Amino acid sequence: MKITITKTTTPNVMPPEEKLGFGKVFTDHMFIMDYEEGKGWYDARIVPFGNISLHPASTVLHYGAEIFEGLKAYRRSDGGVQLFRPMENIRRMNNSAERMSLPLLDEKDALEILETFVRLEERFVPKSFGTSLYLRPFMFGNDEALGVHAVKRATFMLIASPSGSYYAEGINPVKIMIESEDVRTVRGGTGYAKCGGNYAASTRAGERAAKKGYSQVLWLDGVERKYIEEVGAMNVMFKIDGEIITPMLTGSILPGITRKSCIEVLKTMGYTVTERLLSVDELVQAMEAGKLEEAWGCGTAAVVSPIGKLAYGDKEYEIGGGKIGEVTQKLYDILTGIQWGKVEDTFGWVHKL
């Protein structure tokens, strides 16, 4: 595909790596292309990073037609840069687009956009283990009219942010509260799509949990408030009595690429991984019986995030003595090892640039 590149005349200074937070500083450029029904995607361009201008009636501002993805560019110890399973993000973005009646991307073009952009911004891929260049592709409906319907115009963009290590302070298990009031999404809804609206609707529960001293909520299903779905904006896994259990993808759960990768790694490690409905009652029983050995969230940002305490109603349970469990640690070591190019990738997951 043809991508026009207009380079910045005022390049940014890359902040010191130890000062990088998450998603606060951006690279010099951004990618944009536009879509119109009948015409398809057009005017693919990389331009200096900056504000964009929108018509006040733009669909995204009124009806929330927005989807996004999140992936990282990793610096290997030999100095090269690589992505991790980028086609998975591209396919998931198209699944999200289909759900939200937004236009689909050509898979090959989308990969070329990622590659071209990361090569151009290579100097922003930090070097220390755990740091990365976070890539944020997103798409929004951009009709300049207030009628509610599938959009005829859309914009796709890619921005990137050099980000620090999620575990700059070491891996500390988090305290999680089981949420029994708000739900993240419902079956038949948009849970499997990475769309902005899901996050706008879920921050209230997160804020309330934070006020009580918990770092996130464990979501229950939106129909019966009975089955466990996700933790914050991560998928969740449990080790109960030697078996690894993760909620099955019912449509209201985001199909995480880290989740999928954890399952594949665990299987090669010889563990049985069961994807099924797991009720909160069953989990509480396991905790009461001392059979919940490990619990962790998984997602691109943290890779894995061990859960040290879980609160339900007015009871609080400690998991694994509040320390990171053996399986959680192994998953972290293998996945980060592959991502940062320290461990041989026997799965064919890395995509070198």
CA atoms of 299 and 160, how far apart (whole Å): 18
Residues numbered 228 to 287 that lie near ligand PLP (CB under 6 A) are: 230, 233-235, 254, 256-259
Per the CB < 8 A criterion, the answer to whether 23 and 68 are in contact is no
Residue 348 identity (one-letter amino acid): G
Q: How far is the CB of 206 from ligand PLP (least distance, A)?
A: 12
- The contacts of residue 188 (CB under 8 Å, 6+ apart) are 251
Which lies closer to ligand PLP via its Cβ, residue 89 or residue 116?
A: 89
CA atoms of 24 and 26, how far apart (whole Å): 7
Q: How far is the CB of 194 from ligand PLP (least distance, A)?
A: 5
Q: How far is the CB of 350 from ligand PLP (least distance, A)?
A: 15
CA atoms of 103 and 142, how far apart (whole Å): 11
Q: How far is the CB of 103 from ligand PLP (least distance, A)?
A: 21
Q: How far is the CB of 202 from ligand PLP (least distance, A)?
A: 8
Site string for ligand PLP, 120-159 (x = CB under 6 A): ----------------------------------------
Which lies closer to ligand PLP via its Cβ, residue 258 or residue 336?
A: 258
Residue 305 within binding range of ligand PLP, rule CB under 6 A:
no
Residues numbered 191 to 230 that lie near ligand PLP (CB under 6 A) are: 194, 230
Q: How far is the CB of 233 from ligand PLP (least distance, A)?
A: 4
Backbone CA torsion sign across 159, 160, 161, 164: positive
| Matching residue, tokens 């993760």 | 246
Which lies closer to ligand PLP via its Cβ, residue 203 or residue 285?
A: 203
Which lies closer to ligand PLP via its Cβ, residue 15 or residue 130?
A: 130
Count of residues engaged in binding ligand PLP, rule: CB under 6 A:
13
Please, which residues bridge with residue 46 across strands? 5, 31
Q: How far is the CB of 21 from ligand PLP (least distance, A)?
A: 18
Backbone CA torsion sign across 211, 214, 215, 219: negative
- Outline where DSSP puts E strands in 26-92: 29-36, 40-48, 66-68, 71-75, 81-84
Which lies closer to ligand PLP via its Cβ, residue 162 or residue 191?
A: 191
Q: How far is the CB of 318 from ligand PLP (least distance, A)?
A: 25
Q: H-helix or E-strand containing 295?
A: strand 292-299
Which lies closer to ligand PLP via its Cβ, residue 46 or residue 263?
A: 263
Bridging pattern class, strands 4-5 and 40-48? parallel
Q: Which pairs from 240-243 meet CB under 8 Å and 24+ separation?
A: 240/283, 240/286, 240/291, 240/292, 240/293, 241/286, 241/291, 241/293, 242/293, 243/271, 243/272, 243/274
Site string for ligand PLP, 70-109 (x = CB under 6 A): x---------------------------------------
Q: Which parts of this chain interact with ligand PLP (CB under 6 A)?
A: 70, 194, 230, 233-235, 254, 256-259, 299-300
